[in-house]
């Protein structure tokens, strides 16, 4: 098994990956809160950790991949009330949408996809252990809170002391808390909230806090100590910091060995937000761009770096992916298995095993595409397709990809073929001016014609 190095947020360094159980990886990634459609920030996390689990399997690990769904939350309760629908109806609708978006982006389903509402007994059990260990208190408002100052390691993951965190406080003030940094484990029910958002507990009717949900689901499915925990950089504090505190506070064991965080998504170098009007759902993006182009765009930046979203960057990704598919269009892969001893494959594996360095891995794919273009080598075509396949790319028929795309200009495949037929007829009549006019008209509509031997004309979207 090839050695793998992972940047561990907890250590602030790249470290050799050593699984707890040889040959096996247990990985948990924070999923979505399902009250709305997923946006491009969600798309990045989905695609990044799909890439990670694919690569771990590629290099021989047996992976148990868990990604949760948060289906109870203040925003969910509020949105359901605004819509005049039940919480269950709202969350089911957006879970279906989440699955559709993920499938469009080539994201494989996790091995387990727990929903928070299915794990409330495990959450209550975890809170009970924390109470036994003297780490929680019930406040005057009925909420059960975690006492941050009683957990000695608080701040290790975010790299800040409690004093630093207190000075730059990012936690909402609640006068019932003993300390503003304390966080809620069990929220006391409000009379105005629907019954479906309330569960019985020995602390009274209520519902779980957000942080306890992930600890209960991950520890139930993967054990109290597991290999990798992932999520967006925005979750490092307070969510992941709080997960560490409550999980280790309950079990007395180390919680996670390697913490992975993907970088933020920015839109034209600005933070993405609804208030700035630069907020895009996955569905918005897929109306304008092929889903594989979006996956390619996300993966060609290193997962820890910021990702700058914009039409120019997506257009560039489309042209780059077109180059790879064009290389495969006229070269037939030989059908042999991927040869990991071949020079390009070795470079690709070395890059991917260096903290999933996809920019270097992609440069190897373009080198291979250049070789395919020069030599039409079936072996090189096979290596290109197979290596890209480990990232969930280049698995479509090249002609299908090259002819896919927007028809907003009004030209569908039938109209394009009609134009090609008219051009062929014009050439047969030696009316070359008309043939050139048709070619130029198609090009202006974003359609490139390629004349092949034997009088065959192929086309692709520009």
Q: Is 417 marked within a binding site? A: no
pLDDT above 60 for 309: yes
Regarding whether 219 and 108 lie in a shared domain, the answer is: yes
Using the 3D structure, point to which of 211, 233, 262 is the last residue of a domain.
Answer: 262
Regarding whether 151 and 28 lie in a shared domain, the answer is: yes
Regarding whether 298 and 256 lie in a shared domain, the answer is: no
Highest-confidence segment of 12-16, 157-161, 457-461: 12-16
Regarding whether 237 and 311 lie in a shared domain, the answer is: no
What are the tens digits of pLDDT across the range 385-433?
Answer: 999 999 999 999 999 999 886 544 568 888 899 999 899 888 889 998 9
Task: Give the sign of the dihedral formed by CA 183, CA 188, CA 193, CA 198.
Answer: positive
Using the 3D structure, point to which of 262, 285, 302 is the last residue of a domain.
Answer: 262
Task: Cite the DSSP H helix spans in 300-455.
Answer: 311-329, 343-352, 358-375, 378-389, 398-403, 413-428, 432-444
Regarding whether 285 and 245 lie in a shared domain, the answer is: no
Regarding whether 285 and 201 lie in a shared domain, the answer is: no
Q: Is 274 marked within a binding site? A: yes
What's the total number of domains in the chain?
3
What are the tens digits of pLDDT across the range 37-85?
Answer: 999 999 999 999 999 999 999 999 999 999 999 999 999 999 999 999 9
What is residue 161's predicted lDDT score, i.e. its pLDDT? 86
Give the integer Cα–Cα distance in Å for 317 and 323.
Answer: 10
pLDDT above 80 for 166: no
Residues 6+ apart with CB under 8 A from 253: 224, 225
Q: Is 447 exposed, middle or buried (0-12, 13-18, 19+ CB in 10 A)?
A: buried
Phi, psi of 418 (to 5 degrees): -65, -40
Using the 3D structure, point to which of 357, 373, 402 is the last residue of a domain.
Answer: 402
- Residue whose tokens read 């004349």: 451
First CA to last CA across the chain, in angstroms? 42
pLDDT above 80 for 168: no
Q: Is 82 marked within a binding site? A: no
Regarding whether 211 and 170 lie in a shared domain, the answer is: yes
Please check whether residue 97 is in contact with residue 38, taking contact to mean a CB–CB distance below 8 angstroms.
yes
CA angle in degrees (0–180, nearest 5) for 348-352-354: 120
Task: Give percent above pLDDT 70 in the chain.
Answer: 96
Q: What is the CATH number of the domain that holds 321?
A: 1.20.120.640
Give the integer Cα–Cα distance in Å for 41 and 61.
Answer: 28
> Which range marks the domain in which residue 433 is found?
406-461
Regarding whether 143 and 24 lie in a shared domain, the answer is: yes
What is residue 102's predicted lDDT score, i.e. its pLDDT? 98
Task: Cite the DSSP H helix spans in 150-202.
Answer: 162-167
DSSP 403: H
Regarding whether 392 and 312 lie in a shared domain, the answer is: yes
Regarding whether 295 and 251 lie in a shared domain, the answer is: no
Regarding whether 433 and 388 lie in a shared domain, the answer is: no
Q: What is the CATH number of the domain that holds 241?
A: 3.40.50.620
Q: Is 452 marked within a binding site? A: no
Regarding whether 290 and 253 lie in a shared domain, the answer is: no
Please check whether residue 232 is in contact with residue 224, taking contact to mean a CB–CB distance below 8 angstroms.
no
Task: Cite the DSSP H helix spans in 193-281.
Answer: 210-222, 241-251
Q: For 125-129, 240-244, 439-443, which range has the lowest pLDDT when averaged over its residues?
A: 439-443
What are the tens digits of pLDDT across the range 332-367?
Answer: 899 899 999 999 999 999 999 999 999 999 999 999
What are the tens digits of pLDDT across the range 245-267?
Answer: 999 999 999 999 999 999 999 98
Q: Is 243 marked within a binding site? A: yes
């Amino acid at each position: 098994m090839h050695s793998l190095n992972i940047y561990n947020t907890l250590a602030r360094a790249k470290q050799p990956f050593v699984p707890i159980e040889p040959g096996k990886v247990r990985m948990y990634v924070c999923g979505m809160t399902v009250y709305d459609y997923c946006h491009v920030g969600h798309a990045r996390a989905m695609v990044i950790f799909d890439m990670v689990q694919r690569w771990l399997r590629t290099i021989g690990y047996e992976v148990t991949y868990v990604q949760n769904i948060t289906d109870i939350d203040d925003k969910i309760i509020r949105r359901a009330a605004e819509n005049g629908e039940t919480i269950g109806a709202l969350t089911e609708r957006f879970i279906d949408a989440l699955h559709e978006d993920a499938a469009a982006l080539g994201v494989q389903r996790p091995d387990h996809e727990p929903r928070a509402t299915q794990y409330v007994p495990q959450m209550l059990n975890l809170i009970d252990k924390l109470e036994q260990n003297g780490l929680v208190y019930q406040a005057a408002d009925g909420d059960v809170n975690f006492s941050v100052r009683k957990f000695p390691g608080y701040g290790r993951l975010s790299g800040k002391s409690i004093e630093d965190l207190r000075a730059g406080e990012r936690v909402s003030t609640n006068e019932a808390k003993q300390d503003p940094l304390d966080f809620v484990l069990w929220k006391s029910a409000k009379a105005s909230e629907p019954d479906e958002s309330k569960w019985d507990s020995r602390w009274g009717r209520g519902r779980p806090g957000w942080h306890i949900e992930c600890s209960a689901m991950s520890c139930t499915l993967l054990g109290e100590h597991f290999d990798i925990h992932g999520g967006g950089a925005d979750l490092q504090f307070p969510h992941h910091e709080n997960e560490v505190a409550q999980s280790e506070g309950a079990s007395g064991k180390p919680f996670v060995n390697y913490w992975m965080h993907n970088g933020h998504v920015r839109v034209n170098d600005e933070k993405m937000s609804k208030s700035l009007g630069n907020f895009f759902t996955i569905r918005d993006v897929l109306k304008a761009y092929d889903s594989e182009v979006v996956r390619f765009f996300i993966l060609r930046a290193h997962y820890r770096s910021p990702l700058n979203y914009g039409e120019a960057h997506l257009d560039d990704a489309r042209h780059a992916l077109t180059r790879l598919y064009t290389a495969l269009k006229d070269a037939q892969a030989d059908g042999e298995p991927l040869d990991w001893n071949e020079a390009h494959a070795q470079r690709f594996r070395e890059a991917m095993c260096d903290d999933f360095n996809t920019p270097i891995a992609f440069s190897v794919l373009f080198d291979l595409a250049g070789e395919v273009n020069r030599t039409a080598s079936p072996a090189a075509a096979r290596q290109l397709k197979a290596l890209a396949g480990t990232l969930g790319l280049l698995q479509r028929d090249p002609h299908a990809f090259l002819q896919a795309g927007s028809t907003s200009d009004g030209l569908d495949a039938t109209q394009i073929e009609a134009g090609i037929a008219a051009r062929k007829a014009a050439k047969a009549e030696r009316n070359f001016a008309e043939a050139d006019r048709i070619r130029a008209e198609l090009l202006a509509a974003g359609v490139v014609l390629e004349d092949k031997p034997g009088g065959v004309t192929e086309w692709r979207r520009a």
